[in-house]
Amino acid sequence: MAIEPTPDTLLKLQTELNVVKAQMTDMQTKIHQRKLCELARLQRFTTDRAHRIRDQLFAAPSRHAAQIAAEEGLEPALLNAAMVRFVREMLCAAAKLRV
Amino acid sequence: MARELLSQREYARRRGVALQAIQRHVASGIIQLVNGKVDPVQADNSWGLIRRARTSKQDDEAGQRSARSKVVVALAKLRLSKQAFETKRELYVDRAAALELAAKEADLVLAFFRNAPAAYAETFATELCIDAAVGLRILEKFMGLALQEIGDLKTQAIRDTERA
């Protein structure tokens, strides 16, 4: 790459370098002040939470179907199967939710 | 004929340099004093030569190459620093914005779960061959119990974002 420096080229580059260094220091400070958070860690917590909710919802029919079936006078096995389908369809739709 | 001797100040003035420059070269021995005065011939022959060489070299090819090299090095350092900054910036997000998003997301998910019984009641009732209203009541009860077990989603989302 051919470079034809003018008298202020080096100075401009050094100034720009100092700006980037300042930005880096600023970011480091914000990390220490906890104003910034690690994206990978945040994504991991969010995914773990989503998995926990999914697992609890999937386990819910087996816990509640019998009691609700008795209250409503329904066949527990049928109610459980219908609830499992409901949970599965609801979670499929929930996966498409976007803020 | 005896050579003309000049004071350091006078010699500096005639050569257009600072007195300190002359004093420095006197101290280093490049300019030798005669009876405390500067011999212009000796001074020009020693320090003058060095000075001319220095000033004349500034515009030559070597000087140009040196300047270009410095610029190339500075440019490379700048690119590296920018790349390092960009890479690091992609790894972090603003916590305040993340907290806001987490709260919004939790609200959205909760609203979706609460509205799910109404959305699925008809299909659910058809499967069980029961009245749609009964189906809705069953699903609402079920979701109420399930959400109670899950706990406060919004608080959990905020706590996770604060921990990250």
Whether residue A59 lies inside any domain: the answer is yes
Long-range contacts from B107-110, C-beta under 8 angstroms, 24+ separation: B107/B154, B108/A97, B108/A99, B109/A53, B109/A94, B109/A97, B109/B153, B110/B147, B110/B153, B110/B154
Whether residue A73 lies inside any domain: the answer is yes
Whether residue A24 lies inside any domain: the answer is yes
Whether residue A55 lies inside any domain: the answer is yes
Determine the structural domain holding residue A65 and report its residue range.
Answer: 15-95
- Residue to mutate among A42, A62, A79, with most B CBs inside 10 A, is A42
Which chain B residues are Cβ-neighbours of A49 within 8 angstroms? 156-157, 160
Residue A7: how many CB atoms within 10 A of its CB?
7
pLDDT category of residue A3 using cuts at 50, 70 and 90: low
**Contact partners, residue A11, CB within 8 Å, separation at least 6:** none
For B106-161, write each residue's pLDDT tens digit: 999 999 999 999 999 999 999 999 999 999 999 999 999 999 999 999 999 999 99
Place of tokens 């609402």: B140
Between B56 and B62, residue with greater pLDDT: B62
Q: Do A24 and B84 touch (CB under 8 A)?
A: yes
Which chain A residues are Cβ-neighbours of B160 within 8 angstroms? 42, 45-46, 48-49
For helices A76-95 and B95-128, what crossing angle results, to 10°? Answer: 140
Mean pLDDT (chain A, rounded) = 93
Rounded mean pLDDT, B21-41: 89
- The pLDDT of residue B102: 95
For A48-74, write each residue's pLDDT tens digit: 999 999 999 999 999 999 999 999 999
Whether residue A2 lies inside any domain: the answer is no
Of all residues in chain A, the one with the smallest CA distance to B80 is A17
Tell me if A3 sits within 8 A of B71, measured CB to CB: yes
- Residue to mutate among A27, A45, A98, with most B CBs inside 10 A, is A45
Number of domains in chain A: 1
How many beta-carbon contacts under 8 Å exist across A and B?
A: 135
For helices B61-91 and A39-72, what crossing angle results, to 10°? Answer: 20
| A69-88 residues touching B, CB cutoff 8 A | 72, 74, 78-79, 82-83, 85-86
- The pLDDT of residue A52: 95
pLDDT category of residue B105 using cuts at 50, 70 and 90: very high
ipTM of the complex: 0.82
- Residue to mutate among A49, A52, A74, A88, with most B CBs inside 10 A, is A49
Place of tokens 């021995």: B29
Tell me if B98 sits within 8 A of B161, measured CB to CB: yes
Domain boundaries, chain B: 8-57, 60-92, 95-163
